[in-house]
Amino acid sequence: VRLIAVAVPVPGLGPLTYTVPDGLTDPPVGARVLVPLGKRVVTGVVTEIGGPASEIGKDLPTSDVRASISAPKPLIDILDGDAFLPAPVVQLASWVADYYACGLGEAIAAAMPPRAWIESERHARITDAGEAWLLRERRARRDVLQRLSGGRVVSVAALAKSVTGVHAVLASLQKDGLVDLTQPLKGAADASRAVRVATLTAQGTDDLPEARLGARQQQAIELLRAAPDGITLADFARNDIPAESLERLAKLGLVRIERRRVERDPFGASYVAQTFRPADEPAGETGPKACAAYVLTSEQQAAFETLAARAANRAYHAALLHGVTGSGKTEIYLRLARAVREAGRSVLLMVPEIALTPAVAAIFRAAFGARVAIQHSGLSEGERYDQWQRIRRGDVDVVVGTRSAVFTPLADLGLIVVDEEHDGSYKQEESPRYHGRDVAVVRARAAGALVVLGSATPSLESYANAKAGRYELIVLKRRVLDRAMADVQIVDMRQEYATEGPDVILSRALRASLAARLERGEQAMVLLNRRGFATVVFCRECGETLECPNCSVSLTVHKAAHRARCHYCNHSVLLPKQCGKCRGPFLEQLGFGTERIEHDLRALFPQARVARVDRDTMRRRGAIDALLATFAAGDLDVLVGTQMIAKGHDFPRVTLVGVISADVGLGLADFRAAERTFQLLTQVAGRSGRGERPGEAIVQTLYPNHYSIRHACRQDYEAFYDDELRFRQGMRYPPSVALINVVVKARARAAAMDDAGAIADAMRNPGGPWKVLGPAPAPLGRLKGEHRAQIFIKGTQRNAMRKALLTVLDGRPELKRRTIVDVDPMSVL
DNA sequence: AGCACGCCGACT
DNA sequence: GTCGGCGTGCTC
């Protein structure tokens, strides 16, 4: 018997073994197969192939009892003759499943394009006997038969929503021959989009029986004469020529209508490319075309030459490119990409969030044209599917994408660039909880490629790796055109409160600077990393605060919506007029967010054109692009926003950046709080003064002496790294140790603590080369109605820690499904 | 995940 | 007495 290992879409489950039935040839690794799984038929991906002599069956049940009930089943069908996922991507996904302790199917799913999974859907239909017998039945059996009466085919899933326990009822009805159950597959193996295109036939070109044609039809012929490639019926419809006109012409033999496969082009409607200059390119140049003429600084040139030499070796090499904001990293990426492409290998450029950093994507698109594909979550399913297919076919040799693009099916990768490698969005906060940057390094190693991690504020992990010699460190100390860094002024808000009163939000210094900018017609950005109008609603009579019923946080006031909303589960209530507890009418709002800043700025500067960018105002797709384009064009004076405005774009007219509460986040019980604050402040200060005029930044804080704020204001990365590393070593946090965070969810607080405690105990006894901390209630002790407790496992041997943890969890299957395992967590909230 | 089994509280 | 809630187990 020939056996294969298959990854199936089941959380936490390893590969399953199936047999290949006689008459089918072995599918290759990476091919999709349809396999039976319990009562269902699902799509799986072949991860290993082997004959009876191979090791492949070693995970099969060994005990006689188990073997008798679950011998390998034969697969049902093979969907792809060739590998759907390239074998190296299957290997990479296997590594992810292992390292991040998730199911193989989850890791494989992360590498798959949308619409690639086909599953069976269970359908039920009443039989003639069922119709005849209906009235003699009672209760649930009658209810189900009644719903099926009339002969329509109904999906069991839909039925299950309105009838509980429908599965058992259907099974018994089927046994009695009253219903038929079928399992048709839903979805198609190929999710391409086809359009109908009309072209002229030879007859239509030459002899026209003009007299017999209507005006619309004649117009259609005219249009087609000018378009030898044809015109889609949708385009005709837009010009008021209905499809029927073309169909009639086709009947006359004048026009041919064919179905053509088309690509959904994510660049189609993008105006980003024309609007923005790349963040790292100097003002004065006008877009990607200028690249050829652009002369590298000596620093850039040296960095480029070093990296190009590494790429030419065609062997794994990792480099950390530490360049201050505005030092021209993008230009180096671009030239490296060009060199690697010319050497015949392909290039992957990873960016944190394309919606926020369109410039880098745009410059690559401009430089490499149709050989570039783009992959990110902002695309529609269809667009993503088509882009993925282009890459898989080899029509593309440069891919620009977000973290999931690390699994892109490019062949023969020669270069992976991870831009802004420190960015938290590279870490996926749901299973598989992988870090795109770290997976990129693993992929580069397997592919024999150069991987370049770029940042102005490298993560502690990457910088430590560079210092340890695992990555080559390349530094760009100077900005292009020798432009000065922004002048940063710290405002101590404790002093401001002492002289201006406790309600002050915008300091005197910031107000004065804003007024000066408005007078001079320059632009300003104001950053506060917190949404909403007020952070707390508080009763002055009884002290009660308005809290989320599902989560352990207070509700944030959103004034425009007249609601108070939870930022974790989105629960919201109308703003109350009186206290829910004592009925007192004296409700006070404390704290502030971006909505309040916008409100205050409008009041303070009524003539200024102010706009706000945060998740509340930018819900629509493309809204942020449009607003940032307006700002770039100079049609706004002040942009208020959360960290969404801190990244990517380059606005040369901005000469002032104000940071309202630089210490938001420092209060959080998260070991990365200082690092995140340093990164945000450095990035935002880098936003100011990117044009001809020098920039200024004003940073308001309650902790002017905190090292993350002090070093960010001086843009002194080295000093920050030293202080932060000392803190991490003292507290035994990454990168000085490996960390695994285990969160257990339960309905009751005590149950969560007990269950987490059981895991902690099992990890301590007999223990190993690691330390276990906890259990403790998670910082967000209650989230979406569930209580959460967590433990930390710290040590230097990540593999041993993970293996021991999985052994513990496998012994408690009922606990495992309520447990989140986060290896190398970004955030421990 | 999805499906089934099995065991306790509220209805005919 | 049955119905149906969800806690637990399993998927080659």
Give pLDDT tens digits for A146-165.
888 887 777 777 776 666 66
- Which residues in range 13-32 of chain A are in contact with strand B, contact meaning CB within 7 A of any of its atoms? 13
User: Which residue, A705, A706, A774, is CA-closest to A741?
Assistant: A774
Cβ of A73 near strand C (distance < 7 A):
yes
Cβ of A202 near strand B (distance < 7 A):
no
Who wins on pLDDT, A68 or A783?
A: A783
- Determine the distance between A494 (CA) and C5 (C1') in angstroms: 56
Who wins on pLDDT, A390 or A211?
A: A390
- Determine the distance between A11 (CA) and B1 (C1') in angstroms: 7
How far is CA A305 from its chain centroid?
33
Cβ of A16 near strand C (distance < 7 A):
yes
In this prediction, residue A211 has a pLDDT band, given cuts at 50, 70 and 90, of low
How far is CA A290 from its chain centroid?
32
Cβ of A171 near strand B (distance < 7 A):
yes
Among the residue ranges A318-332, A444-458, A643-657, the one predicted with the least confidence is A643-657
The predicted-structure confidence for A349-383, as pLDDT tens digits, reads as follows 999 976 666 678 888 988 998 899 988 877 888 88
Going by the DSSP 8-state scheme, the letter that residue A583 receives in this structure is -
The predicted-structure confidence for A8-65, as pLDDT tens digits, reads as follows 999 999 999 999 999 899 999 999 999 999 888 899 999 999 754 444 545 554 433 3
Nearest nucleotide relative to A69: CA against C1': C12
- Determine the distance between A326 (CA) and B1 (C1') in angstroms: 47
Q: What is the mean pLDDT of residues A320-328?
A: 91
d(CA A441, CA A436): 9
d(CA A156, CA A173): 13
Q: Collect contacts of A426-430 with beta carbons under 8 A, ≥24 apart.
A: A426/A350, A426/A352, A427/A403, A427/A824, A427/A825, A427/A826, A427/A827, A428/A110, A428/A403, A429/A826, A429/A827
Tally of residues, chain A: 829
Cβ of A69 near strand C (distance < 7 A):
yes
For residue A342, the model assigns a pLDDT of 96
DSSP line for A744-785: EEESSHHHHHHHHHHHHHHHHTT--SEEEEEEEEEEEEEETT
Q: How far is CA A827 from CA A421, A687, A709, in A?
A: 16, 26, 20
- Which residues in range 570-629 of chain A are in contact with strand B, contact meaning CB within 7 A of any of its atoms? none
Q: What is the mean pLDDT of residues A401-427?
A: 96
For residue A100, the model assigns a pLDDT of 96
Cβ of A193 near strand C (distance < 7 A):
no
For residue A283, the model assigns a pLDDT of 38
Instruction: Name the protein residue, with chain letter, whose CA is nearest the C1' of C2.
Output: A139
- Determine the distance between A96 (CA) and C9 (C1') in angstroms: 26
With a cut of 70, say whether residue A281 has pLDDT above it: no
DSSP line for A135-176: GG--HHHHHHHHHHTTS--EEHHHHHHHSTTHHHHHHHHHHT
In this prediction, residue A133 has a pLDDT band, given cuts at 50, 70 and 90, of confident
Which chain C positions have some atom within 7 A of a protein CB? 2-5, 7-12
Structural contact between residues A179 and A126, judged by C-beta atoms closer than 8 angstroms: yes
With a cut of 90, say whether residue A123 has pLDDT above it: no
Going by the DSSP 8-state scheme, the letter that residue A59 receives in this structure is G
- Determine the distance between A167 (CA) and B5 (C1') in angstroms: 12
d(CA A365, CA A172): 59
- Determine the distance between A169 (CA) and B7 (C1') in angstroms: 19
For residue A186, the model assigns a pLDDT of 67
For residue A468, the model assigns a pLDDT of 97
Cβ of A39 near strand B (distance < 7 A):
yes
User: Which residue, A419, A446, A206, is CA-closest to A325?
Assistant: A419
Cβ of A584 near strand C (distance < 7 A):
no
Cβ of A139 near strand C (distance < 7 A):
yes
- Determine the distance between A751 (CA) and B10 (C1') in angstroms: 26
Residues 6+ positions from A780 with CB-CB distance below 8 Å: A551, A552, A553, A568, A788, A829
Q: What is the mean pLDDT of residues A433-459?
A: 98
pTM of the model: 0.85
Task: Tell me which amino acid residue A597 is.
Answer: I
Nearest nucleotide relative to A141: CA against C1': C3
- Determine the distance between A611 (CA) and B1 (C1') in angstroms: 43
- Determine the distance between A767 (CA) and B1 (C1') in angstroms: 33
- Which residues in range 680-699 of chain A are in contact with strand B, contact meaning CB within 7 A of any of its atoms? none
d(CA A245, CA A32): 42
Top mean-pLDDT range of A297-301, A545-549, A662-666, A808-812: A297-301
Cβ of A442 near strand C (distance < 7 A):
no
In this prediction, residue A286 has a pLDDT band, given cuts at 50, 70 and 90, of very low
Helices (H), A35-86: 64-69
Nearest nucleotide relative to A9: CA against C1': B1
> Could you tell me the two tokens for A263?
């690509």
Q: What is the mean pLDDT of residues A466-479?
A: 95
Cβ of A442 near strand B (distance < 7 A):
no
For residue A266, the model assigns a pLDDT of 63
Structural contact between residues A676 and A665, judged by C-beta atoms closer than 8 angstroms: yes
The predicted-structure confidence for A715-725, as pLDDT tens digits, reads as follows 899 999 999 99
Q: What is the mean pLDDT of residues A673-695?
A: 83
- Determine the distance between A172 (CA) and C1 (C1') in angstroms: 21
Residue-averaged pLDDT of chain A: 86
For residue A274, the model assigns a pLDDT of 34
Cβ of A160 near strand B (distance < 7 A):
yes
For residue A265, the model assigns a pLDDT of 65
Which chain B positions have some atom within 7 A of a protein CB? 1-5
Backbone angles phi, psi at A628, to 5 degrees: -65, -30
> Could you tell me the two tokens for A343?
């050497």
In this prediction, residue A621 has a pLDDT band, given cuts at 50, 70 and 90, of low
- Determine the distance between A806 (CA) and C7 (C1') in angstroms: 22
- Which residues in range 736-775 of chain A are in contact with strand C, contact meaning CB within 7 A of any of its atoms? 747
d(CA A524, CA A518): 8
Q: What is the mean pLDDT of residues A668-677?
A: 88
Cβ of A314 near strand B (distance < 7 A):
no
Cβ of A11 near strand B (distance < 7 A):
yes
Going by the DSSP 8-state scheme, the letter that residue A595 receives in this structure is H
For residue A280, the model assigns a pLDDT of 39
- Which residues in range 109-128 of chain A are in contact with strand B, contact meaning CB within 7 A of any of its atoms? 122
For residue A520, the model assigns a pLDDT of 92
Residues 6+ positions from A11 with CB-CB distance below 8 Å: A102, A103, A105, A106, A431
d(CA A428, CA A99): 14
Who wins on pLDDT, A274 or A262?
A: A262
Among the residue ranges A417-426, A500-509, A551-560, A689-698, the one predicted with the least confidence is A689-698
Among the residue ranges A203-217, A465-479, A485-499, A743-757, the one predicted with the least confidence is A203-217
Cβ of A751 near strand B (distance < 7 A):
no
Nearest nucleotide relative to A37: CA against C1': C11
The predicted-structure confidence for A509-551, as pLDDT tens digits, reads as follows 999 999 999 999 999 999 998 999 999 998 998 888 998 888 8
d(CA A624, CA A504): 29
Among the residue ranges A178-192, A446-460, A550-564, the one predicted with the least confidence is A178-192
Among the residue ranges A181-190, A316-325, A446-455, the one predicted with the least confidence is A181-190
Cβ of A167 near strand B (distance < 7 A):
yes
For residue A482, the model assigns a pLDDT of 73
Helices (H), A291-424: 298-312, 329-342, 358-368, 381-393
Task: Tell me which amino acid residue A531 is.
Answer: R
In this prediction, residue A665 has a pLDDT band, given cuts at 50, 70 and 90, of confident
Residue A678: its H or E element? helix A673-685
With a cut of 80, say whether residue A276 has pLDDT above it: no
For residue A372, the model assigns a pLDDT of 93
Cβ of A37 near strand C (distance < 7 A):
yes
How are the residues of chain A apportioned to helix, strand and coil, as percentages rounded to the nearest 5? 40, 25, 40
In this prediction, residue A287 has a pLDDT band, given cuts at 50, 70 and 90, of very low
Task: Tell me which amino acid residue A809 is.
Answer: L
Residues 6+ positions from A301 with CB-CB distance below 8 Å: none
d(CA A655, CA A520): 10
d(CA A553, CA A533): 16
- Determine the distance between A754 (CA) and B7 (C1') in angstroms: 23
The predicted-structure confidence for A221-260, as pLDDT tens digits, reads as follows 888 888 888 888 888 888 888 888 888 888 888 888 887 7
